[in-house]
Amino acid sequence: MKIDRRMFIGAGLATGASWALGNARAQGSQTIRIGHITDMSGVYRDVEGPTSVACLRQAVEEFVAQNPDIKVEILVADHQNKADVGLGIIRRWFDESDVDVITNVGNSSVALGAKTLIESKNKVALISSAGSSDLTGKSCSRNSIHWAWDSWCLAHSTATSLVKSGGDKWFFVTADYAFGHAAQADAAKFAELAGGRVLGSVKYPYGSTGDFSSFLLQAQSSGANVIAFANSGADLINCLKQAQEFGLTAKARLAAMVGYITDVLAMGLPVAKGLTLTETFYWDLNDRTRAFQKRIAPKLEVGVFPNMSQAGDYSSVVHYLKAVKELGVSRAKSSGLEVVEMMKKMPTDDDCFGKGSIRADGRKIHPAYLFEVKKPEESSSRGDIYRLIATLPAEEAFRPINSGDCALIKN
């Protein structure tokens, strides 16, 4: 059913996209073209989608205001979470629309599938919403940079910190597909390394009917003091809602392996309170992040706060355009590889992630933050939802460069 619905919407969007492409072609070739490929209609619409487009526009507007001589254009398309649809659009952008860089690119299947294409066309990929740490490991590419977060970073931060604070008996509720398995395996490994034990897990079929009470009862009777959810989006929200209902929080802490501020806002603090999760960006971290939120707010719907992926779209494009300016537009357009190398040479600095750098394997590094969701009575405004529990410095937040199996490092 979902597939057909998406095909239906996809057909409409494809028509819109081709119109935009036609327009883009008609203009001069000394323009930097950014192709933003994301989920505009499916399950990840809220964690990527329109807010990620707003963040990208913010980055471009700020750059163009200071550098009016450099022209930048944005194209937006919906990959509908299908690798083949995403690849088709990216190929057309490169072949017909003179696109120089693709942004967002989530989910992982689209990002992994696009690797060869991006390398063969010598373009740039700035990946901010795909989670697989393979993107800077086995599947690393000299033409792409993985920006905001990855699965290794989140599992490592959440699992290690929770065990340290006494959460040593784990039970996993896991979505039964590649992402869920990987998230569980990573987190279990870090929990055990830190001295914790995994008491059990239950794998439920992806695309279930939204009732998780059976699985939650199993988690409850296991005696675990950490119940970890290796799922995301609507499944995670329903799990937490029902966990509160069945009183699981009385004896255990709940942890999300991948959770965003967008999920927490959607379920509300009465449901999310006490949840532990890791993000690499939060609007209320410091003066710079608050300044960013103030600038971006007019572009967003009321009550929306960007998550780490969406902030990654802002940050990655800010840095990309700096590198373009350094190289000059025509050189940047002729070689994506040169732009990426320039980006790796320059230190990164923006309001969302502060100062940071890009490693040789294409991993952008910055600190990761372990948050606990506040109780409703502790929150002073809609966006005031996290309490910072621990900060992992940039050097520790991501997988050590030598253990990822990235071919760029061996050579």
Partner 1 sequence: MQALYAQLLVGLINGSFYALLSLGLAVIFGMLNIVNFAHGALYMMGAFCAYFLLNIAGIGYWPALVIAPIAVGIFGMLLERTLLKWLAGLDHLYGMLLTFGIALIVQGVFQNYFGSSGLPYAIPDELKGGMNLGFMFLPVYRGWVVVFSLVVCLATWFLIERTRLGAYLRAATENPTLVRAFGINVPRMITLTYGLGVGLAALAGVLSAPINQVRPLMGADLIIVVFAVVVIGGMGSIMGSIITGFALGVIEGLTKYFYPEASNTVVFVLMVLVLLVKPTGLTGRAA
Beta bridge partners of 37: 77, 104
Q: Does 177 bind partner 1 (CB under 8 A)?
A: no
Beta-strand ranges (E) seen in 105-216 are 124-127, 144-146, 169-175, 197-204
Q: Could you tell me the smallest distance in angstroms from the CB atom of residue 14 to partner 1? A: 15
CB of 207 to partner 1, least distance (A): 6
Q: Does 71 bind partner 1 (CB under 8 A)?
A: no
Dihedral sign, Cα of residue 12, residue 13, residue 15, residue 16: positive
Q: How far is CA 40 from the centre of its chain?
A: 15
Question: Looking at 194, 202, 346, 401, which residue binds partner 1 (CB under 8 A)?
Answer: 202
Pull the structure tokens for residue 89.
Answer: 């659009």
Q: Which is nearer to partner 1, 252 or 397 (CB)?
A: 252
* 42 versus 106: smaller Cβ distance to partner 1: 42
Which residues, listed in sequence order, are joined to residue 276 by a DSSP beta bridge?
Answer: 255, 372
Contact 397, 381 (CB under 8 A): no
Under the criterion CB under 8 A, does residue 381 sit at the interface with partner 1? no
- By CB under 8 A, is residue 154 in contact with partner 1? no
Of the candidate spans 95-103, 125-133, 230-238, 345-353, the one that interacts with partner 1 by CB under 8 A turns out to be: 230-238
Residues 38, 141, 405, CA angle at the centre, nearest 5°? Answer: 120
Q: Across 61-105, where does the E strand assignment appear?
A: 71-78, 101-104
CB of residue 200 to partner 1, shortest distance in Å: 11
Of 308, 265, 310, the closest CA to residue 157 belongs to 308
* Residue 15 touching partner 1 (CB under 8 A): no
Identified binder of partner 1 from the candidate list 20, 43, 199, 297, rule CB under 8 A:
43
Q: Does 302 bind partner 1 (CB under 8 A)?
A: no
Diameter of the chain measured on Cα atoms: 65
Nearest approach in angstroms of CB 277 to partner 1 is 15
Q: What are phi and psi of 15, to 5 degrees?
A: -60, -45
218 binds partner 1 (CB under 8 A): yes
Tell me which stretch binds partner 1 (CB under 8 A): 162-170, 258-266, 280-288, 382-390: 258-266
Is residue 122 a contact partner of residue 318, using CB atoms and an 8 Å limit? no
Complex with partner 1: residue 51 or 160, whichever CB lies closer: 51
Give the integer Cα–Cα distance in Å for 90 and 53.
17
- Is 376 among the residues that bind partner 1 (CB under 8 A)? no
Question: Shortest Cβ distance from residue 129 to partner 1 (Å)?
Answer: 14
Judged by CB under 8 A, which of 13, 17, 24, 41 binds partner 1? 41
Phi-psi region for residue 50, left (φ > 0), alpha (ψ -120 to 50) or beta? alpha
Site string for partner 1, 268-297 (x = CB under 8 A): x-xx--------------------------
Of 220 and 310, the one with the shorter C-beta distance to partner 1 is: 220
Contact 237, 267 (CB under 8 A): yes
Q: Of the candidates 23, 245, 382, 388, which one interacts with partner 1 according to CB under 8 A?
A: 245
Instruction: Examine residue 172 and tell whether it contacts partner 1 (CB under 8 A).
Output: no
Which residue of 27, 221, 402, 403 would you call a contact of partner 1, by CB under 8 A?
A: 221
**In b/e form, how buried is each residue of 208-227, taking b as 16+ CB within 10 angstroms?**
eeeebeebbeebbebebbbb
From the CB of 354, what's the least distance to partner 1, in Å?
A: 28
Q: Nearer to partner 1 by C-beta: 109 or 238?
A: 238
Q: Are 398 and 152 in contact (CB under 8 A)?
A: yes
CA gap 254, 5 in Å, rounded: 34
Q: Does 185 bind partner 1 (CB under 8 A)?
A: no
- Residue number, 22 or 270, with CB nearest to partner 1: 270
Could you give the C-alpha distances from 252 to 44, 121, 166, 223, 224, in angstroms and in order? 28, 51, 11, 8, 7
Among 2, 91, 331, 382, binds partner 1 (CB under 8 A): 2
Segment contacting partner 1 by CB under 8 A, of 143-151, 240-248, 314-322, 334-342: 240-248
Binding site for partner 1 (CB under 8 A): 1-2, 4-5, 8-9, 41-47, 49, 176, 202-205, 207-211, 213-215, 217-218, 220-221, 233-234, 237-238, 241-242, 245-247, 262-263, 266-268, 270-271
